Amino acid sequence: MFRQRLTLCIICLFASHFLVSAQEVIAPYGLMVNMLLNTEQVFLNGYPVNTPLEEAVTHRENWQFTNISTARPVFGWMFPSGPANTKQTAYRILVSSDKELLAGDAADLWDTGKINSDQSLHISYNGKQLHPGSVCFWKVKTWDNYGRESAYSDIARFKMADRLVDYATDRHSIQKQDEYPARLKKVDENTYFIDFKKASFGRLRLNLFSETGTDSVSIHLGEALKNGRLDRSPGGAIRYSRYMVQPKQGWNTYVIAIRPDKRNTGPQAVLIPEYIGEVTPFRYCEIENYSHPLQEKEVVRETAFYPFNEHDSYFHSSDSILNQIWEISKYAIKATSFLGVYIDGDRERIPYEADALINQLSHYCVAREYGMARYTHEYLIHKPTWPTEWILQSVLMAWHDYIYTGNKQSLEYFYDDLKAKTLIMLADEEGFISTRTGKVTPAVLESIHFKGELRDIVDWPHTGILGLEKEEGGETDGFVFTEVNTVVNAYHYKALTLMARIAEALEKTSDQKFYQDRATLLKRSFNARLFDQKRGVYVDGIGTDHASLHANMFPLAFGLVPEKHIRSVLEFIRSRGMACSVYGAQFLLDAVYDAHDADYGLQLLTSTGERSWYNMIRSGSTITTEAWDNKYKPNQDWNHAWGAAPANLIPRKLMGIEPLEPGFKKIRIKPQPAWLKHAGIKHPTIRGDITASFINRPNESFRLEVSIPANTTADVYLPFYSEEQKVLLDNKPVTYHREGGFSVIKGVKPGKWSFHVYR
């Protein structure tokens, strides 16, 4: 009997191994150089072309290339998923100056040989010197833990910049796309109304006919409607412009050259590349005084944006409002990327840390793109803006960059700058910082690269900031500014905790301990001096008994609230509603979901009130706006990505997908569905796609299907109902542990898995 069982086991093991080995081994894909995909793409005047990179560099055209500017670039790829628990065990990279040589599996620049390693990201080039302006070819093969060797990947290309440096952040060129009207309507004999369905930054190209060459045609472009026609006096910074064209006799093509705006093309603004040409945001167009029949194909919007793959992400749920909010937020990330830097909308076109922080997180969640976020963060290190809290946000952005990419290069290069951005030079003996106690010296300002006056902001705008005095209430919930500001010091605490983790990642042990100790001191002082025990809330600062939403949501979002006080702080937060700006809403929702109040989080996300994301849609905008409504910021614009927080809140908090270890080496999947019946998401990461979908019967059962990329593991969180509940993994009982209201399965391996918990 024993021999029979042993023989059967051996046969089963052999069969299992045979099945695994027999499966097709997919080659590595998604090859990246300096974390950029598609480095071989060539653009001509912003339009992608099929001319191979190695050919394009040999003849004159107005080409645009992705230039690799570091002498030792880093390579990465996505390791394909296979059987459950597939992991890479080895790789071999070939880099060549000759495509034909590489096609024969040989390399004249670098051949790593077989390297036993699971590393698939940020492998630093270590071959022969790469020359400025040269085109290089590379490919990679891998081995997995089942002993299978893959074929080589497709050959990828990259072009070295004309000047090479030790460190820089590379980006793609800005792209153009021709878009045709979704609707073209003849209003009267000489007038046409055109709707492109969504607003975008671009310009208009027209085919026009004239019998005599003496016509004068009016072109109107704008973002807003009024009584079914283009609103020609929309107010604020909502865009409208008018242009005249005098068509020559016969058929001709005309490009409407957009007039530069003095404010958003000034010295501080980021300028549009010349090969794109000046742009304006518009959805609607009206053409007047044109009597010839006009066809849709004769009207083209040349839209500009940073390369964006629509298929990198998706989200859909049982709530139609939530779906619309996801779509406008995701689209806002694409539409506002037209400069290759995160900016504050069209009014100024200036990078600000607060915009960049929200934009960064949202971009990570909707596209597999990391260069634009890093470039903007590093731009702001040397060109910071005036709010105290936003200086501190540089540390937060640096950490987000590392935890999402797993790449330390930026941390290493800007480490001393990040230390200064903690503003620890302003701290007193209790650990509090202040800009009002005489500690903001010229040396401090120089260390953070700022020339000006630091001022606390809390939220924006402030009361009366727009010249309307008390008529405009501002977005700070009546916050009382004192010398020791609760919001500023909540940010300082977060910066200290993250600086300690950055020091740990860079193996700077003494710095790590220093920042941990400072964070501990500040947390103790913060709760002793700023928490009102009687009311169970935080006050706005030392010297006032006023308690605002902001003074409570930021400490909760940043981990300052002791467990015993979370309930009272959360109750107060609930009582204030959405008493913050669209910027503040990022941290309000972070706080609410981190405190596991999923019902209130979903209530805020799907609200149809005046202070809601749905109100942006209802107002007529197709890109997220700068404020909840014109009444809260009369000079707002309709193309502001700091209003796109749901693009990261839905993936990170509602669906619960976040990196636990740098570069998504370990993942947390922690859905908080509240009353949603079902939802599904695709979340891009630097290692591959995470997918998750659930069917939810609140307090009865919860089914979760997930796909976890190769070379990762995940901690999966399900609802906890009772000690008698059943928890299944692929229809078999699985070990879990309780963590508050969650049933947690640790260390789930790569692959596709089905979880089910029910009473």
pLDDT per residue as tens digits for the range 79-119: 998 788 899 999 999 999 999 999 999 999 999 999 999 99
What pLDDT score was predicted for residue 471? 56
d(CA 22, CA 27): 15
* DSSP for 532-597, written as a single string: ETTTTEE-SBTT-----SHHHHHHHHTT-S-GGGHHHHHHHHHHH-S-S-HHHHHHHHHHHHHTT-
Do 393 and 516 belong to one domain? yes
Distance between alpha carbon 688 and the CA centroid of its chain, in Å? 16
Residue 18 lies in a domain: no
**Does the structure show a pLDDT above 80 at 183?**
yes
Phi and psi angles of residue 476, each rounded to the nearest 5 degrees, phi first: -100, 10
Do 603 and 541 belong to one domain? yes
d(CA 720, CA 743): 5
pLDDT per residue as tens digits for the range 696-722: 999 999 999 999 999 999 999 999 999
**Does the structure show a pLDDT above 80 at 4?**
no
Between strands 666-669 and 713-719, the pairing is: parallel
**Does the structure show a pLDDT above 80 at 198?**
yes
In the chain, the percentage of residues whose pLDDT exceeds 70 is 96
Asked if residue 461 has a cis previous peptide bond (ω within 30° of 0), the answer is: yes
Residue 6 lies in a domain: no
Residue 480 lies in a domain: yes
Do 519 and 596 belong to one domain? yes
Q: Which of 654, 675, 697 is the last residue of a domain?
A: 654
Residue 434 lies in a domain: yes
* DSSP for 119-135, written as a single string: --S-EE--SSPPPTT-E
Nearest to 76 by CA among 400, 411, 407, 409: 407
Phi and psi angles of residue 585, each rounded to the nearest 5 degrees, phi first: -60, -30
- The CATH number of residue 570's host domain is 1.50.10.10
d(CA 668, CA 681): 14
* DSSP for 450-510, written as a single string: --S--B--SSSSPTBTTTTBTTS--SSTTPPP-SSBHHHHHHHHHHHHHHHHHHHHTT-HH
Location of structure tokens 């999402």:
404
**Does the structure show a pLDDT above 60 at 286?**
yes
- The CATH number of residue 736's host domain is 2.60.420.10
**Does the structure show a pLDDT above 80 at 6?**
no
Q: Which of 636, 654, 672 is the last residue of a domain?
A: 654
pLDDT per residue as tens digits for the range 226-261: 999 999 999 989 999 999 999 999 999 999 999 999
**Does the structure show a pLDDT above 80 at 541?**
yes
Residue 17 lies in a domain: no
Long-range contacts of range 568-571, CB-CB < 8 Å, 24 or more positions apart? 568/535, 568/536, 568/537, 569/536, 569/537, 569/538, 569/595, 570/595, 570/597, 571/536
Reported as type and span, the H/E element at residue 683 is: strand 678-685
Nearest to 341 by CA among 372, 370, 363: 372
Phi and psi angles of residue 44, each rounded to the nearest 5 degrees, phi first: -125, 110
Do 508 and 626 belong to one domain? yes
pLDDT mean over 722-730: 97
What pLDDT score was predicted for residue 8? 41
Residue 21 pLDDT grade (very low, low, confident, very high; cuts 50, 70, 90): very low
Q: Which amino acid is at 8?
A: L
Gyration radius (Cα) of the chain, Å? 28
Do 217 and 338 belong to one domain? no
Beta carbons of 643 and 101 less than 8 angstroms apart? no
Do 299 and 204 belong to one domain? yes
Beta carbons of 690 and 707 less than 8 angstroms apart? yes
* DSSP for 606-634, written as a single string: T--SSSSHHHHHHHT-SS--SSSSGGG-T
**Count H helices, E strands: the chain?**
18, 37
The chain-wide mean pLDDT, for the chain, equals 95
Angle value at C-alpha 497, between 494 and 498, nearest 5 degrees: 85
Residue 20 pLDDT grade (very low, low, confident, very high; cuts 50, 70, 90): very low
What pLDDT score was predicted for residue 693? 98
Do 199 and 327 belong to one domain? no
pLDDT per residue as tens digits for the range 171-180: 999 999 999 9
Least confident piece of the model among 135-149, 466-480, 563-577: 466-480
- The CATH number of residue 229's host domain is 2.60.120.260
Do 275 and 352 belong to one domain? no
Q: How far is CA 465 from CA 268, 478, 486, in A?
A: 21, 14, 21
What pLDDT score was predicted for residue 2? 40
Do 287 and 224 belong to one domain? yes
Surface-to-core class of residue 292, CB atoms within 10 Å of its CB (0-12 exposed, 13-18 middle, 19+ buried): middle
d(CA 439, CA 292): 70
Q: What three-state secondary structure class fits 83?
A: coil
- The CATH number of residue 151's host domain is 2.60.40.10
Surface-to-core class of residue 511, CB atoms within 10 Å of its CB (0-12 exposed, 13-18 middle, 19+ buried): middle
Nearest to 123 by CA among 133, 108, 110: 110
What pLDDT score was predicted for residue 15? 41
684 - beta bridge partners?
689
In the chain, the percentage of residues whose pLDDT exceeds 90 is 94
Location of structure tokens 């009772």:
722
pLDDT mean over 635-639: 95
d(CA 206, CA 196): 14
**Using the 8-state DSSP alphabet, how is residue 155 labeled?**
P
**Using the 8-state DSSP alphabet, how is residue 664 labeled?**
G
Structure tokens at 307: 């390369």
What pLDDT score was predicted for residue 18? 39
Do 154 and 281 belong to one domain? no
What pLDDT score was predicted for residue 24? 67
What pLDDT score was predicted for residue 472? 60
Beta carbons of 380 and 667 less than 8 angstroms apart? no
Range of the domain at 301: 175-305
**Does the structure show a pLDDT above 50 at 17?**
no
What pLDDT score was predicted for residue 81? 84
Residue 518 lies in a domain: yes
What pLDDT score was predicted for residue 171? 97
Beta carbons of 638 and 199 less than 8 angstroms apart? yes
**Does the structure show a pLDDT above 90 at 158?**
yes
Location of structure tokens 């490009």:
255
Number of domains in the chain: 4
Residue 125 lies in a domain: yes
**Does the structure show a pLDDT above 60 at 509?**
yes
Do 425 and 572 belong to one domain? yes
What pLDDT score was predicted for residue 84? 83
Do 297 and 413 belong to one domain? no
d(CA 398, CA 415): 10
Using the CB atoms, write b or e for 689-728: b if 16+ within 10 Å.
Answer: bbbbbbbbeeeebbbbebbbbbbbbbbbbbbbbeeebebe
Residue 77 lies in a domain: yes
**Does the structure show a pLDDT above 90 at 1?**
no
Q: Which of 165, 197, 231 is the last residue of a domain?
A: 165
Q: What three-state secondary structure class fits 417?
A: helix
